[in-house]
C-alpha cells in the first residue's frame, strides 16, 4: 500500500488525490451549505424586519407560539444530530450494523420533528387563525419555518435512501464520505434551527 | 510465553478504534451540553432583567451551540482549514446581509407611514 493510500485509510477527512486534499463531495457540500446560510439569513432577516414594524391588526406572536412544543422540537433535533454524528463515526469504523441503527434513530427523530411542525402549523391555522395570507407575521413565519421543514423532509428522504442503500452491500468504509456529506447537511438543518429557535421564538418572550 | 508480535496494521487499527471510541464520548457529552444550554435559553427568557442583557445572553448561548455543532458534529475541528474558511465566507456574508438589512429597516426613516401621518400630506395634495 502506498503512503498516500495508507493516509487516506487512516484519516477519512482527507483525500490526497484531490488538489485541495479534501474529498470533492465534501467540498461541494460545504460550498452548498455556505450558500444556504445566505438563503436562510435573508429569510430570518425578513421575519425580524417585519417584526420591527408590525402593521396594525397583526396578532401577538407570544399569544400564538407554544414555547413548550418548540423546545421539545429543538431537543429532538439536537438528539438527531447526535445520532447522525454517531452514524458517521460508525461507518468510518466500518461498523455497518451500528450505522444502520444510528441512521434509523436519526430518521425517527426527524419524523418526530416534522410531526411536531405539522401539529404546530395545524394549531396555528385552525385554532389561532394565523395563516400564510392573513398577516405579515403569518407570511414570514410560515415561509421561514416551512422552508426549514422542507429541508428536514429532504434530509429524512436522503437518510431513508441511504439506509436502504446500505442493505445492497455497496456501502462500505470506503464510501463513508457519502454518509459524512449527508451528515453535514443534517447538522446544517440543526444549526439553522438553533438560530430560528432564538431569533423567531425566544425573542418574542422578552 | 512471549506476547504476540504487533504489526503496524494492528497498531493502526487499535489507534483508529481508540479515536472512534473517544469521539463517541465526545459527541455524547456535547449533545448533553447542548441540551443543557437549550434549557438555559428557555429559563433566560423568563428572568427579570432588562431586554438587552437577555438578548445578549441568548445570542451568546446560541453562538456556543452553533460553534459546538459545526466544529465537533460537522468535524470542522478535524477537517482541513479550507472547509472552515469556505463555510465562514457564507456565514459572514449572511451575517453581514442580516446586519445591514436590520440596520436599514430599523432606522427611523424606514418606519412605515400610518394613515394618520399621511392625512396632512393628502389634504395638501387635494388643496393643490
| pLDDT single digits (tens) A92-135 | 888 999 999 999 999 999 999 999 999 999 999 999 888 999 88
Q: Which three cell numbers stand for residue A101?
A: 441503527
User: Which of A33, A83, A194 to mutate to test binding with chain B, by most B CBs within 10 Å of its CB?
Assistant: A194
Report pLDDT for B3.
Answer: 44
Q: Is A74 on the interface with B (CB under 8 A)?
A: yes
Q: What is the pLDDT of residues A138-158, one digit of tens each?
A: 999 999 999 999 999 999 999
How close does chain B come to A131, measured CA to CA in Å?
23
What does the alpha-carbon distance between residue B121 and residue B123 come to, in Å, rounded to a whole number?
Answer: 5
Whether residues A53 and B69 touch (CB distance < 8 A) is answered with no
What does the alpha-carbon distance between residue B82 and residue A122 come to, in Å, rounded to a whole number?
Answer: 43
Q: Is the pLDDT of residue B112 over 80?
A: no
Q: Is the pLDDT of residue B119 over 80?
A: no
Q: What is the mean pLDDT of chain B?
A: 83
Q: How confident is the model at residue B5 (pLDDT cuts 50, 70, 90)?
A: very low
Q: What is the pLDDT of residues A50-82, one digit of tens each?
A: 887 777 777 788 888 999 999 999 999 999 999
Report pLDDT for A37.
Answer: 94
Q: Is A203 on the interface with B (CB under 8 A)?
A: yes
Q: Is A113 on the interface with B (CB under 8 A)?
A: no
**B34, B58, B97 ranked by CB distance to A38: nearest:** B97
Q: What is the mean pLDDT of chain A?
A: 89
How close does chain A come to B74, measured CA to CA in Å?
6
Please name the residue ranges forming H helices in chain A. 3-10, 24-52, 61-64, 67-93, 96-122, 136-166, 176-196
Report pLDDT for A73.
Answer: 95
Q: What is the pLDDT of residues B15-42, one digit of tens each?
A: 556 666 678 889 999 999 999 999 999 9
Q: Is the pLDDT of residue B9 over 90?
A: no
Report pLDDT for A189.
Answer: 96
Report pLDDT for B12.
Answer: 52
What does the alpha-carbon distance between residue A111 and residue A106 come to, in Å, rounded to a whole number?
Answer: 9
ipTM > 0.85 for the complex = yes
Percentage with pLDDT > 70 across chain B: 84
How close does chain A come to B114, measured CA to CA in Å?
9
First to last CA, chain B: 111
Q: Is the CB of residue A84 less than 8 Å from the CB of residue A104?
A: no
Query: Which residues of chain A have a CB within 8 Å of the CB of B28?
Result: 82
Q: Is B111 on the interface with A (CB under 8 A)?
A: yes
Report pLDDT for A58.
Answer: 75
Query: Which residues of chain A have a CB within 8 Å of the CB of B78?
Result: 13
Query: Which residues of chain B have a CB within 8 Å of the CB of A31?
Result: 86
Report pLDDT for B4.
Answer: 45
Q: What CATH number labels A3-205?
A: 1.20.120.80
Provide CB contacts within 8 A for B51, sequence distance 6+: A206
Q: What is the pLDDT of residues B42-100, one digit of tens each?
A: 999 999 999 999 999 999 999 999 999 999 999 999 889 999 999 999 999 999 999 99
Whether residues A197 and B89 touch (CB distance < 8 A) is answered with no
Amino acid at each position: 500500500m502506498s503512503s498516500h493510500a495508507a493516509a487516506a485509510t487512516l484519516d477519512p477527512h482527507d483525500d490526497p488525490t484531490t488538489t485541495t486534499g479534501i474529498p470533492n463531495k465534501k467540498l461541494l457540500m460545504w460550498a452548498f451549505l455556505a450558500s444556504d446560510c445566505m438563503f436562510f439569513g435573508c429569510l430570518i432577516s425578513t421575519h425580524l424586519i417585519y417584526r420591527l414594524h408590525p402593521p396594525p391588526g397583526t396578532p401577538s406572536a407570544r399569544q400564538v407560539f407554544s414555547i413548550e412544543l418548540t423546545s421539545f422540537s429543538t431537543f429532538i433535533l439536537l438528539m438527531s444530530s447526535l445520532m447522525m454524528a454517531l452514524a458517521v463515526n460508525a461507518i468510518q469504523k466500518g461498523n455497518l450494523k451500528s450505522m444502520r441503527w444510528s441512521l434509523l434513530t436519526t430518521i425517527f427523530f426527524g419524523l418526530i420533528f416534522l410531526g411536531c411542525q405539522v401539529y404546530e402549523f395545524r394549531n396555528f391555522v385552525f385554532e389561532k387563525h394565523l395563516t400564510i395570507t392573513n398577516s405579515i407575521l403569518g407570511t414570514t413565519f410560515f415561509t421561514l419555518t416551512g422552508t426549514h421543514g422542507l429541508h428536514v423532509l429532504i434530509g429524512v428522504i436522503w437518510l431513508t435512501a441511504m439506509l436502504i442503500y446500505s442493505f445492497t452491500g455497496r456501502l462500505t468504509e470506503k464510501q463513508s464520505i457519502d454518509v459524512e456529506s449527508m451528515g453535514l447537511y443534517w447538522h446544517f438543518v440543526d444549526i439553522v434551527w438553533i438560530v430560528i429557535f432564538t431569533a423567531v421564538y425566544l425573542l418574542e418572550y422578552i | 510465553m512471549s506476547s504476540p508480535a504487533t504489526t503496524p496494521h494492528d497498531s493502526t487499527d487499535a489507534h483508529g478504534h481508540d479515536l472512534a471510541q473517544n469521539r463517541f464520548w465526545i459527541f455524547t457529552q456535547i449533545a448533553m451540553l447542548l441540551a443543557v444550554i437549550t434549557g438555559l435559553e428557555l429559563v433566560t427568557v423568563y428572568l427579570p432583567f432588562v431586554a438587552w442583557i437577555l438578548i445578549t445572553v441568548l445570542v451568546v448561548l446560541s453562538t456556543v451551540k452553533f460553534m459546538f455543532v459545526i466544529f465537533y458534529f460537522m468535524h470542522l475541528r478535524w477537517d482541513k482549514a479550507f472547509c472552515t474558511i469556505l463555510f465562514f465566507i457564507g456565514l459572514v456574508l449572511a451575517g453581514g446581509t442580516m446586519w445591514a438589512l436590520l440596520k436599514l429597516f430599523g432606522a427611523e426613516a424606514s418606519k412605515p407611514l400610518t394613515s394618520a401621518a399621511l392625512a396632512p400630506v393628502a389634504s395638501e395634495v387635494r388643496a393643490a
